[in-house]
Amino acid sequence: MTLGWGSHWGKSAFLKTDRGYGGLGVDVAHDPSENSNGFDPSPINMATPTSDWSRLPVLLAINLLFLMVWGFAGFGKFEDGYPGWFEEVFGKTVLGRFPGTRAAYWGIAVLEVLGAMLALGALVRLEFLGRRSPDWLLATGVLSLFVFIVLGFGEWLTKDFAGAFQLFLYFAASLLAVREVREGSPGRSA
């Protein structure tokens, strides 16, 4: 068996054998053929994306998590209706003046249901299988970032700093999920 090194410029280093290429999952930030021996043993970027065997369950887990979070939150708001405490907590803030507490509450509910519908669409399209680009799952993640910003804004308005911190953590986890979904997508880079 003949071994050598090949690369896809700016993508990943691959082990080249007489049977073809085997992915090593190492991001390469520069062209290794610039060296005299054609291989740079210390690539600049050693970040490794999720390996191929684990990508399917990781994407499925991200998809199910977003579906669960936004499904329970959004549909729960519609089922329970507008709570009286929302006016008490936010009525004296800027939300009480614009857009109004009812509009703010129902706007959040609509965003959460939209997140659930995008996650459901990604699941129905079987995007986690990797046969098509995970556009709907990516849209779910990006929407989640903005929903957590909106929710965090409400926590800051009421000076609930512990709640704001929790939403910051949710935002950070969503950002990692967006990166993971995006990293392995065809034609995309993180």
Per-residue confidence (pLDDT) for residue 23, from 0 to 100: 44
pLDDT of residue 140: 98
> For residue 16, what are the β-bridge partners?
4, 21
Residues sharing a CB contact under 8 Å with residue 117, sequence separation 6 or more, in sequence order: none
pLDDT on residue 45: 41
Per the DSSP assignment, residues forming a β-bridge with 13 are 7, 26
Residue type, 27: D
How far is it between the farthest Cα atoms of the chain?
A: 74
What is residue 188's predicted lDDT score, i.e. its pLDDT?
54
pLDDT tens-digit map of 130-158? 899 999 999 999 999 999 999 999 999 99
Low-confidence ranges of the chain (pLDDT < 50): 1-30, 32, 35, 38-48, 189-190
**Cα distance between residue 23 and residue 88, in whole Å:** 57
pTM across the whole model: 0.71
CA end-to-end span of the chain, whole Å? 34
Quick: pLDDT tens for 39-48: 444 444 444 4
> What would the two tokens of residue 140 be?
């779910």
Q: Could you count the other beta carbons within 10 Å of the beta carbon of residue 85?
A: 8
